[in-house]
């Protein structure tokens, strides 16, 4: 990052404008993957990262801490580094504890330590604590207005995972009445709730986040009900492994109908799911009566109770009381929610919230690239996962530097296909 003085005609004092080759918005795993791949392709790359925090992986680490999750779901070869075996080697050389689970997913502690090391090895600077407010694109590049001033960049990588939370309409009658009565799963802070003994907690959702919250709340003494609108789906990963290679992606990329392609991705993810080992934990808890799972069930309405808590009316006609309601209902990807991108999204076709980008993940003629679930059209249903972070970073680094990096596993086989 460089600072250049800008002399304004008729103004005695000059203002300073930051300049950089590439600005990365977002310091999570996707932003980190982008920075590492750019550095691998071009060690002299001038990169500026902006984030709401001045530290890497703040939101990522906080979410695992809040939900008291000690193991990732992704296998050990999925991580931000360009070297697919870097995390496994790191754990081996430092003799760190392994999760002991199928497919050897890393512990959150090992993953955090690994990321700290690769950030230091790449000499990545801490993020600039700022928000992106607007941008202008011209033949000279981009002029980005941030909460900390102007930043001029040749390229912008959007790695912020813009999304909207899914909030069921029946919760509206509960919101704002009692602190902590209704919370989205992203806001539930279990370390701040050390003793839930005797409390009745209802968790809406049947995915892994709901399962983690249910199990950990039960361990703190709560009586938990999980309400899932369909039978629990058992899968080792968010998507079937065939979606990480040509087995399914060949048909996906061959689909010329944009809406059909997006629907294929939605169907592949299929909503929330849990791996077999978590199902076993839940079975044990249901056997002791600490967790009750109501499958193929939905809440139709809710009312504030006379003194505390609330009552929930189910489609079965049953009414249940709850001290707390936690919404593990997920989020909806929405790049258009970023107002700062409206000027470059004007001419980009968008289907169900997903921009139709080319294989380099570039937004039309503008030097703006996207990562995360927003890149689903070009990468497939695993775009938002760690696998997607590495593959998106690889494509973007190649587009920016012209240097093609080796990518372990499937990734570059489908170079030529319509708009992907």
Predicted local confidence at residue 35, as pLDDT: 98
> Confidence class of residue 339 from pLDDT cuts 50, 70 and 90?
confident
Predicted local confidence at residue 362, as pLDDT: 95
Question: What are the tens digits of pLDDT across the range 143-158?
Answer: 999 999 999 999 999 9
Return the minimum-mean-pLDDT range out of 36-40, 107-111, 336-340.
336-340
Give the mean pLDDT of 95-108: 95
| 2-7+14-163+333-401 CATH choice from 3.60.15.10, 3.40.225.10, 3.50.50.60, 3.30.2130.30 | 3.50.50.60
Q: Name the more confident of 201 and 137.
A: 201
Most confident range (mean pLDDT) of 74-83, 325-334, 400-409 is: 74-83
Q: What is the DSSP secondary-structure string of 54-94?
A: SSTTHHHHHHHHHHT--B-SS-TT-SSSSSTTHHHHHHHHT
Residue 323 pLDDT exceeds 60: yes
Angstrom distance (rounded) from CA 296 to CA 279 = 16
Contact 146, 133 (CB under 8 A): yes
Spatial CB neighbours of 52, under 8 Å, sequence gap ≥ 6: 58, 59, 129, 131
> Confidence class of residue 408 from pLDDT cuts 50, 70 and 90?
low
> Confidence class of residue 420 from pLDDT cuts 50, 70 and 90?
very low
- Extract the runs of DSSP E, i.e. beta strands, from 43-188: 47-51, 128-129, 132-138, 141-146, 149-158, 163-165, 182-184
Q: Name the more confident of 347 and 195.
A: 195
> Confidence class of residue 419 from pLDDT cuts 50, 70 and 90?
very low
Domain 167-233+271-329 fold:
FAD/NAD(P)-binding domain (3.50.50)
> Confidence class of residue 15 from pLDDT cuts 50, 70 and 90?
low
- Widest distance between CA atoms in the chain: 78
Predicted local confidence at residue 343, as pLDDT: 84
Contact 342, 325 (CB under 8 A): no
From 406, 301, 354, select the one nearest 162 (Cα to Cα): 354
Give the mean pLDDT of 106-131: 97
Q: Name the more confident of 268 and 332.
A: 268
> Confidence class of residue 248 from pLDDT cuts 50, 70 and 90?
very high
> Confidence class of residue 12 from pLDDT cuts 50, 70 and 90?
very low
DSSP reduced 3-state for 175 = coil
Residue 1 pLDDT exceeds 70: no
CATH 3.50.50.60 maps onto the chain at 2-7+14-163+333-401, 167-233+271-329
Tracing tokens 């003194």 back to the chain, one arrives at 307
């Amino acid at each position: 990052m460089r600072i250049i003085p800008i002399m304004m005609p008729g103004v005695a004092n000059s203002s300073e404008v930051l300049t950089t080759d590439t600005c990365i918005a977002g310091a999570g795993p996707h932003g980190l993957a982008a920075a590492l791949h750019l550095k691998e392709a071009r060690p002299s790359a001038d990169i500026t990262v902006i984030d709401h925090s001045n530290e890497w992986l703040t939101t990522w680490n906080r979410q695992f801490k809040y939900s008291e999750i000690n193991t990732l779901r992704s296998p050990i070869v999925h991580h931000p580094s360009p070297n697919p075996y870097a995390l496994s080697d790191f754990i081996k050389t430092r003799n760190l504890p392994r999760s002991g689970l199928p497919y050897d997913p890393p512990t959150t502690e090992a993953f955090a330590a690994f990321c700290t090391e690769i950030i230091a090895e790449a000499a990545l600077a801490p993020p600039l604590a700022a928000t992106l407010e607007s941008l202008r694109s011209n033949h000279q590049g981009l002029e980005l207005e941030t909460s900390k001033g102007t930043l001029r960049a040749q390229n912008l990588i959007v790695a912020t995972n813009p999304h909207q939370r899914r909030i069921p309409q029946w919760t509206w009658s509960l919101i704002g009445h009692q602190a902590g009565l209704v919370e989205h799963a992203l806001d539930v802070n279990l370390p701040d709730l050390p003793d839930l003994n005797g409390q009745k907690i209802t968790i809406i959702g049947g995915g892994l986040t709901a399962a983690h919250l249910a199990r950990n709340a039960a361990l703190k003494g709560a009586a938990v009900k999980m309400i899932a609108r369909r039978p629990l789906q058992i899968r080792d990963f968010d998507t079937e492994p065939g979606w990480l290679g040509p087995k399914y992606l060949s048909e996906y990329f061959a689909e010329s109908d944009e809406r059909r392609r997006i629907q294929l991705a939605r169907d592949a993810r299929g909503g929330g799911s849990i791996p077999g080992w978590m199902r076993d934990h839940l079975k044990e808890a249901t056997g002791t009566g600490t967790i009750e799972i109501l499958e193929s069930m939905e809440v139709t309405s809710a009312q504030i109770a006379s003194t505390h808590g609330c009552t929930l009316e189910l489609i079965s006609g049953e009414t249940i009381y709850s001290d707390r309601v936690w919404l593990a209902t997920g989020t909806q990807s929405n790049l258009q929610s970023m107002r700062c991108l409206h000027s470059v999204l004007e001419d980009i076709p968008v289907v169900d919230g997903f921009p139709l980008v080319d294989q380099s993940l570039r937004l039309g003629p503008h030097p703006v690239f996207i990562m995360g679930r927003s890149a689903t059209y070009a990468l497939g249903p695993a775009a938002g996962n760690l696998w997607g972070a590495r593959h998106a970073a690889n494509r973007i680094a190649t587009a920016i530097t012209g240097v093609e990096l080796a990518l372990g596993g499937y990734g570059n086989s489908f170079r030529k296909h319509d708009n992907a």
